[in-house]
């Protein structure tokens, strides 16, 4: 009898599983067509294939005019081999969000067309002078550029006066990230440099009289470049002094986080066809490269892949910052779990390896798209070259189901999520203030997509907007631990440099699932100050200013 009851109980349980409703998954709607956007990602492809052409289209989401609405910046290429923005088809683009949710082109008014510059790749956002307005750095094929936000809707090119534009001749800079590496309250800048290249030294690779993009090994590796903020708008190059000059690579995506929990910001750089770099801050103005020692340099087969976009967040909510970066088709997208000293190869266990093998990923990010408290993985995809029918690809969303495994839900993200192309840059932020993360993504020779999250999962959320006082105003790297009323612990930190060539909203986002009450929010500021707030309501933006002690 007892056995029969057990069988009946098992049957009822199985029936309940079969009849359980599927999860409510939000999808994405492209609203770009509602605005007059002049920009298309123009990499100057005319048949002749120059080595850097596949890299174009950095994106940034930030509120440049402090009106409470997030705006969009898009970096663009230049005519090859001239390296000049010869006409408006190569201009960069600044889109100001209006009160009705549409975007207006204010590029010329703001002074950000890029006229006079050359081929721009990455956009790095950061308030380097702590005046409350976000500034903009452009990583470029030629001279890099720094634009100061004047606070009146305009920007001024301060590259020369700042001392930040200098670099070895013909250094190709792909991306950059602002962070306060010496904890003095001023944002410094690290630039992810790739190689030495110019149109005159471009190697032409041919197969059956057809151009193809050469293997990166044809070009030299170079170290990243670090600029220390001296204050008063001045910077000094400390690449040699910091010991970064000792570690050449082919830098692509760059992520900032405190990987070892010592209160000082470290740097991960994804290197194309070279071992990846993990620069551990030694707290004395220098860094030690420990990628091989900590298990992030190679894949599980001891091979270096075509590492592209990266992000560093805590995907399993264990309080330690993990790493993700994508690769080209047939290579392994790496999910690396931080075990408190070493990183564990987690791609196969989590199913990310199997899910990603047929895609070539560029920009990427950990985003909790459905607000369930688990960070999912978005990737902007498309092959390097138009070599086969598999070359144009759609984006992917791998949903984090339990902090251990992922499932591909790309097909449920809506038709606007699935157009095939050669996607490159992507940025994340809550553009319409509904608590769900939206996506801006660029694609070669196409207009950008502004993908609005429908936010219909039914889950709750909290956004934390931090303002540093003793720490740098942007509070980059500040760690936030959220404890719900039920005791669930969630972790995130301020991270602007996300993905590939791109910058995301600096506010810290948490999905809360069905919970509406938050017991506490603990903030660990870069200055070392720890601040705790209690009994917080969900579904709001929580603005927090750093105490002075």
Q: Tokens 């969900």 sit at which residue?
A: 538
Q: Read off the pLDDT of residues 417-445 as tens digits, 9 standing for 90 and up.
A: 999 999 999 999 999 999 999 999 999 99
Handedness of CA 81, 383, 381, 451 (dihedral sign): positive
Determine the Cα–Cα distance for residues 136 and 340; give it in Å rounded to an integer: 34
Determine the Cα–Cα distance for residues 71 and 60; give it in Å rounded to an integer: 8
Determine the Cα–Cα distance for residues 399 and 25; give it in Å rounded to an integer: 10
Half-sphere exposure of residue 444: CA atoms within 13 angstroms, side-chain side = 23
Q: Read off the pLDDT of residues 160-179 as tens digits, 9 standing for 90 and up.
A: 999 998 889 999 999 999 99
Determine contact, residues 427/61, Cβ cutoff 8 Å: yes
Average pLDDT taken over every residue of the chain: 94
Query: Per-residue pLDDT averaged across 233-245, rounded?
Result: 98
pLDDT at position 315, please?
A: 98
| Predicted confidence (pLDDT) at residue 396 exceeds the cutoff of 80 | yes
Show the tokens assigned to 531.
């601040």
Q: Which positions ≥6 away from 469 have C-beta within 8 Å?
A: 545, 546, 547, 548
DSSP state of 58: -
Q: Read off the pLDDT of residues 136-162 as tens digits, 9 standing for 90 and up.
A: 999 999 999 999 999 999 999 999 999
Show the tokens assigned to 249.
């690579």
Determine the Cα–Cα distance for residues 382 and 328; give it in Å rounded to an integer: 9
| Predicted confidence (pLDDT) at residue 12 exceeds the cutoff of 80 | no
| Predicted confidence (pLDDT) at residue 4 exceeds the cutoff of 50 | no
Q: Which positions ≥6 away from 250 have C-beta within 8 Å?
A: 194, 195, 216, 219, 221, 222, 271, 272, 273, 274
Determine the Cα–Cα distance for residues 544 and 152; give it in Å rounded to an integer: 25
Buried b or exposed e, range 289-301, using 16+ CB within 10 angstroms: bbbeebbbbbbee
pLDDT at position 375, please?
A: 98
Report residue 341's pLDDT band, with 50, 70 and 90 as the boundaries.
confident
User: Quick one: how far is CA 86 from the chain centroid?
Assistant: 29
Q: What is the DSSP string of 284-343?
A: SS-EEE-HHHHT-SS-TTS---B---EEEE-TT-SSS-EEEE---TTS--EEEEE-SSSE
Q: Read off the pLDDT of residues 191-229 as tens digits, 9 standing for 90 and up.
A: 999 999 999 999 998 888 788 898 999 999 999 999 999
| Predicted confidence (pLDDT) at residue 181 exceeds the cutoff of 70 | yes
Determine contact, residues 497/151, Cβ cutoff 8 Å: no
pLDDT at position 172, please?
A: 97
pLDDT at position 207, please?
A: 82
pLDDT at position 46, please?
A: 85
Determine contact, residues 287/242, Cβ cutoff 8 Å: yes
pLDDT at position 549, please?
A: 80
Q: Count CB-CB contacts under 10 A for residue 394.
A: 18
Determine the Cα–Cα distance for residues 247 and 215; give it in Å rounded to an integer: 21
pLDDT at position 302, please?
A: 85
Q: Count CB-CB contacts under 10 A for residue 137.
A: 28
Determine the Cα–Cα distance for residues 31 and 28; give it in Å rounded to an integer: 9
**Side-by-side strand order, sheet with 460-467:** 508-513, 460-467, 541-545
Comparison of pLDDT for 18 and 132, the residue scoring more: 132
Query: Per-residue pLDDT averaged across 4-17, rounded?
Result: 47
Determine the Cα–Cα distance for residues 64 and 126; give it in Å rounded to an integer: 10
pLDDT > 70 fraction of the chain, expressed in percent and rounded: 96
Query: Per-residue pLDDT averaged across 435-460, rounded?
Result: 97
Q: Read off the pLDDT of residues 274-331 as tens digits, 9 standing for 90 and up.
A: 999 999 999 999 999 999 999 999 988 888 889 999 999 999 999 999 999 999 999 9
Burial label for 528, CB within 10 Å (0-12, 13-18, 19+), is: exposed
| Predicted confidence (pLDDT) at residue 22 exceeds the cutoff of 70 | no
Strand partners, 123: 138
Strand partners, 229: 235
Determine the Cα–Cα distance for residues 326 and 433; give it in Å rounded to an integer: 29
Report residue 17's pLDDT band, with 50, 70 and 90 as the boundaries.
very low
Angle among Cα 504, 308, 239 to the nearest 5 degrees reads 80
């Amino acid at each position: 009898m007892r056995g029969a009851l057990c069988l009946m109980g098992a049957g009822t349980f199985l029936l309940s599983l079969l009849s359980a409703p599927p999860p409510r998954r939000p999808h994405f709607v492209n609203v770009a067509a509602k605005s007059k956007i002049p920009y298309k990602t123009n990499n100057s492809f005319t048949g002749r294939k120059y080595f850097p052409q596949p890299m174009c289209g950095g994106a940034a989401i930030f509120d440049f005019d402090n009106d409470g609405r997030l705006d969009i910046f898009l970096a663009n290429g230049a005519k090859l081999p001239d390296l000049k923005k010869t006409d408006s088809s190569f201009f960069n683009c600044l889109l100001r969000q209006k009160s009705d949710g549409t975007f207006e082109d204010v590029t010329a008014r703001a002074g950000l067309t890029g006229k006079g510059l050359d081929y721009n790749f990455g956009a790095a956002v950061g308030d380097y002078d702590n005046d409350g307005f976000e500034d903009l750095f452009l990583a470029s094929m030629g001279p890099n550029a720094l634009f100061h936000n004047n606070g009146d809707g305009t920007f001024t090119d301060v590259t020369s006066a700042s001392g930040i534009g200098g670099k070895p001749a013909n250094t190709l800079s792909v991306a950059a990230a602002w962070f306060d590496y010496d904890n003095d309250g001023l944002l410094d800048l690290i630039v992810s440099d790739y190689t030495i290249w110019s149109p005159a030294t471009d190697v032409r690779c041919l197969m059956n009289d057809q151009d193809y993009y050469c293997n990166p090994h044809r070009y030299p590796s170079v170290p990243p470049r670090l600029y220390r903020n001296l204050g008063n708008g001045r910077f000094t190059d400390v690449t040699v002094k910091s010991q970064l000059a000792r570690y050449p690579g082919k830098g692509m995506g760059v992520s900032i986080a405190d990987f070892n929990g010592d209160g000082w910001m470290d740097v991960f750089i994804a290197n194309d066809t070279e071992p990846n770099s993990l620069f551990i801050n030694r707290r004395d103005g220098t860094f030690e490269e420990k990628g091989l020692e900590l298990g992030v340099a190679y894949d599980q087969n001891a091979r270096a892949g075509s590492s592209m976009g990266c992000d560093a967040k805590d995907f399993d909510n264990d309080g330690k910052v993990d790493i993700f970066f994508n690769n080209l088709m047939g290579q392994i997208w790496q999910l690396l779990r931080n075990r408190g000293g070493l990183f564990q190869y987690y791609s196969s266990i989590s199913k990310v390896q199997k899910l990603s093998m047929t895609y070539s990923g560029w920009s990427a990010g950990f985003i909790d798209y459905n607000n369930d408290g688990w960070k999912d993985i978005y990737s902007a995809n498309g092959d390097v070259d138009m070599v086969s029918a598999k070359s144009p690809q759609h984006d992917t969303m791998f949903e984090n189901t339990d902090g251990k495994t992922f499932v591909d839900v790309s097909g449920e993200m809506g038709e606007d999520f699935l157009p095939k192309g050669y996607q490159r840059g992507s940025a994340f932020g809550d553009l319409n203030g509904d608590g769900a993360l939206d996506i801006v993504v660029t694609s070669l020779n196409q207009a950008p997509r502004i993908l609005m999250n429908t936010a219909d999962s039914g889950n709750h959320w909290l956004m934390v907007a931090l303002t540093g006082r003793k720490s740098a105003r942007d509070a980059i790297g500040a760690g936030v631990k959220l404890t719900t009323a039920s005791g669930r612990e969630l972790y995130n930190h301020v991270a602007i440099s996300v993905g590939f060539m791109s910058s995301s909203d600096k506010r810290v986002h948490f999905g809360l699932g069905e919970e509406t009450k938050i017991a506490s929010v603990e903030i660990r500021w870069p200055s070392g100050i720890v601040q705790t707030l209690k009994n917080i309501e969900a579904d709001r933006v929580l603005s927090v200013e750093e105490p002075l002690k």
